[in-house]
Amino acid sequence: MSKVFGFTGSDDFCTGRSVYLNPKESGLFLSLGCQKYAYKPRQKRSRVGVPFDFSGDKWFEPKPEPSIETLPDECLFEILRRLPAGQDRSLCASVSKRWLMLLSNICKDEICTEVGTGNGSKDGGDQGFGNEGCLSRRLEGKKASDVRLAAVAVGTASRGGLGKLSINGCNSDSALTNAGLKAVAHGCPSLKIFTLWDVDTINDEGLIEIANGCHQLEKLDLCKLQNISDEALIAIANNCPKLTELSIESCPNIGNEGLPAIGKLCPNLRSISIKNCPRVGDLGIVGMVSSASFVLTKMTLESLAVSDYSLAVIGQYGFALTDLALNSLSYVTDKGFWVMGNGHALQKLTTLTIGLCSGVIDIGLEAIGKGCPNVKNFHLHKCAFLSDNGLVSFTKAAPSVVSLHLEECHRVTHFGLFGLLYNCGSKLKALTLVSCHGIKDLKLELTAVSQCESISSLSIRNCPGVGNSTLAILGKLCLRLQRLELIGLEEITDLGFLSLLERSKSSLINVNLSRCINLTDAGVSSMVKLHRKTIKVLNLNGCKRVGDSSLMEIAGNCPALSDLDVSRCAITDAGIAALARGVLPNLGVLSLAGCSMVSNKSMPALKKLGDSLEGLNIKNCKSIGSHTVDKLIESLWICDILF
């Protein structure tokens, strides 16, 4: 062998006989050839970096270094579950993804309780799992993944425990699967509030893991889950007896089997909301309501395949209900509402919302008023067949109403409006009318109607028929207004607006006059003079005929003003300067969006106002340059500026 390594590659002649004693060694280097008496020029030697044993038939193979990573998962799991404390488990979770996932699959009961600590004491497994549930986490979009949930489960265990978890997949390609929920179930037994939205990769298996591991669960919110069925709800019912609130929306595979189990096995159930679940019908609702009749206080049913039968059962078994919402129930007729009202079980009902139900007619609404005498908050939305007679009959039967909201009830006219004021005027505190096109502006003399001195809030939005005459009558009836909203009323002018306020015995606090395009500086200035000391919120957004005169009046007379919106008004730099010179120590929010006549010249005034401002909106102020905006951002560093 020495001859081989002593070969220098000089121009020597060699015979065709091999120079290697062991024929296997010839494969390690380039062969010198087999041609007899051939001249071989200098050749490059092969570089071999692997140790060889030339004394035997085999050369050395690399020996792997000993590593814990070579252990199978079963062995590593046994090691990790013997870690002495939660802090140590959190540190080990950062070693690798494999360790993290193994640690996240260790349940509380699987923690070894016989591991000695440094001082000779025994660690009782619970040290790594907080039972208080004082922490909360929220994951959205691509951040919602199995790895992230595993980290949450391990990391929160030693810091008080996870109490609230919200996951929103945002209809993205989420990396979240059932394995992530399994990690939460194993590592977060203290979970009390769980929200799961819009994750198509989760099915019953994941939610069953939550049910089996999180027995403290109190609130569950499921939305847009295509693969969740009654099997998951039954598991929740069997394992989460502390459940108090359940919300299910847009889960097409949930039907009638799970809801009765929830009503029967969850004795603390207080609130249930079911929306847009087409497979939920009478069997599910009836089974749930009849089982939880003495504890269920709040219920919302929307876009379900229920009929009159379900409403009849609610009227018979809703003894504890205080808040009931019925929306978009297309299979329910007037008979269902009539039977529900005559069930006489809804004596405790205080808040009733009915929307987009074609079965609501005058007779049914009157029956509801008689069967729910203690209703205080009543909301009607898109009830196309309800007329003045039904509305007046309801208010006669339910005189306790303090808040009434009518939206898109086009058959209700001014006769119904003033009729309800007559019946509820002594107790009604808030009246809201939204897009009620049946209310027209007529000149009426209502000598028999008593004053509604209890009404403190009046809101009329987008009712094109409301004009000066209607406001004049309301001004005679509503004498103690503190909150006033007149939005999108293009027919009212300064005359009608002031007639609403001139007899007022109280002072306005919150005023919204958005898009009342015929109001001018005269009307706004007069209102400011009448209520100058109490106005805190003033919204003049879109009042195109309101300008600098109003701002000058506001600047000198509204020391309590905290929120001012003059977006898309006819104000200039002079108006902003007047605000800066005024006495507005409490002004925190100022909106100038779309004020094209406000320019860079207003920068000193805005800087002065910035001493108290927390929010400034200068979007679409085309006369304010980017350089001015940069200076404002630099000067008003405490203020949030929208530009």
Taking residues 233-249, report their average pLDDT: 96
- On whether the CB atoms of residues 492 and 517 are closer than 8 A, the answer is no
62-71, 531-540, 555-564, 610-619, range with the lowest pLDDT: 62-71
Give the mean pLDDT of the chain: 83
Q: What is the DSSP string of 360-417?
A: --HHHHHHHHHH-TT--EEEEES-TT--HHHHHHHHHH-TT--EEEEES-TT--HHHH
Evaluate the CA torsion angle 521, 527, 531, 535 in order and state its sign.
negative
**Among 184-188, 310-314, 458-462, 566-570, the least confident range:** 184-188
* Local confidence band at 505 (pLDDT 50, 70, 90 cut-offs): confident
**pTM for the structure as a whole:** 0.79
pLDDT digits (tens, 9 = 90+) for 126-164: 444 445 667 888 998 888 888 888 777 776 666 667 889
Q: How far is CA 370 from the centre of its chain?
A: 37
Burial environment of residue 470 by CB neighbours within 10 A (0 to 12, 13 to 18, 19 or more): buried
* More confident call, 412 vs 60: 412
What pLDDT band is residue 86 in, cutting at 50, 70 and 90? Answer: low
Give the mean pLDDT of 429-437. 95
Give residue 122's pLDDT band: very low, low, confident or very high (50, 70, 90).
very low
Separation CA 105–CA 633 (nearest Å): 49
Beta strands in 80-184 (DSSP E): 135-140, 162-168
Q: Which single residue is written with the structure tokens 């977060």?
A: 188
Mean pLDDT, residues 597-623: 91
Residues in the chain: 643
Do residues 468 and 499 make contact, with C-beta atoms less than 8 angstroms apart? yes
CA distance 476 to 456: 14
Q: Position of tokens 């019908």?
A: 281
According to DSSP H, which parts of 398-466 are helical? 414-424
The whole-number average pLDDT for the span 548-555 is 94
Judged against a pLDDT cut of 80, whether residue 610 lies above it is answered with yes
Whether the Cβ atoms of residue 52 and residue 59 lie closer than 8 Å to each other: yes
- Parse the chain into domains and list their residue ranges: 1-62, 526-643
With both helix axes pointing from N to C terminus, report the angle between 548-557 and 573-581 in degrees, rounded to the nearest 10.
Answer: 10
pLDDT at 445: 66
Enter the tokens of residue 129: 């799992």
Amino acid at 18: S
Q: Say what the pLDDT of residue 162 is.
A: 86
Number of Cβ within 10 Å of residue 87's Cβ equals: 13
Q: Which amino acid is at 625?
A: G
Q: Which of 154-168, 252-266, 378-392 has the lowest mean pLDDT?
A: 154-168
pLDDT for residue 6: 45
The tens digit of pLDDT for each residue in 182-222 reads 888 888 888 999 999 999 899 999 999 999 989 999 999 99
**Percent of the chain residues past pLDDT 70, beyond the cut:** 77
Helix, strand, coil percentages, rounded to 5, for the chain: 35, 15, 50
Between CA 85 and CA 585 the distance in angstroms is 55
pLDDT of res. 146: 80
CB-CB contact of 141 with 172 (8 Å): yes
CA Rg, the chain, in Å?
Answer: 38
Residue 570: beta bridge partners? 547
CATH of domain 526-643: 3.80.10.10
Alpha helices (runs of H) in 513-566, residue ranges in sequence order? 521-530, 548-557
Using an 8 Å Cβ cutoff, are 636 and 607 in contact? yes
Strands (E), 56-154: 135-140
Decide: helix, strand or coil at residue 323.
Answer: strand
628-633: which pairs have CB atoms within 8 A and are 24 or more residues apart? 628/600, 628/603, 631/603, 632/603, 632/606, 632/607
Per mean pLDDT, which range of 450-454, 466-470, 586-590 is the poorest?
A: 450-454
Both structure tokens of 223: 């939305």
Q: Assess whether pLDDT exceeds 70 at residue 118.
A: no
